[in-house]
Amino acid sequence: MKEIKLTLPQRMLFALLKAALQEQEPEVSLFEQATENDWKECSRLSTQQGVVIMAWDGIVRLPSSLQPPQELKIAWALAVEKYERKYQHYCEVVCRLSAYYRQYDIQTLQLKGVGFSTLYPVPSHREGGDIDIYTYSASPEKLTDQEANDLANRLVEQHGVSVEYDRWEKHSLFIYRGIPVENHRYFLDIERSKLAQQMDQFLKDRLRPQSVELLPGKHILIPDPAFNTLFIAFHTIQHFGYGLAIHHLCDWACILKHFGLQLPAELTDARFLEGIAAMTELCNRYLGTCVPVSGGEKLAEEMMYEMLYPFDVEAYPKSTPWDFLKFKVKRFVYTVKVKNRILYTPLWRNPVFWNKIKKTIVWHLRSPKRMISETKE
| 340/141: higher pLDDT | 141
pLDDT in tens, 41-79: 999 999 999 999 999 999 999 999 999 999 999 999 999
DSSP structural state of residue 186:
S
Q: What is the pLDDT of residue 194?
A: 81
- Assigned fold of 101-223: Beta Polymerase; domain 2 (3.30.460)
Q: What is the mean pLDDT of residues 126-149?
A: 94
Alpha carbons 208 and 199: distance in angstroms, whole number? 16
C-alpha atoms less than 13 angstroms from C-alpha of 292 in its C-beta half-sphere:
0
Identify the CA nearest to 190 among candidates 355, 51, 41, 312. 355
Q: What is the CA radius of gyration of the chain?
A: 21
Name the pLDDT band for 338 (thresholds 50, 70, 90): confident
Alpha carbons 137 and 151: distance in angstroms, whole number? 10
Whether 198 shows a pLDDT value over 80: the answer reads: yes
Identify the CA nearest to 341 among candidates 270, 290, 284, 285. 270
Contact (Cβ atoms closer than 8 angstroms) between residue 39 and residue 72: yes
CB atoms < 10 A from the CB of 74, how many? 11
Residues with Cβ within 8 Å of 371's Cβ and at least 6 positions away in sequence, in order, are 325, 328, 364
- Domains in the chain: boundaries: 101-223, 225-309, 315-372
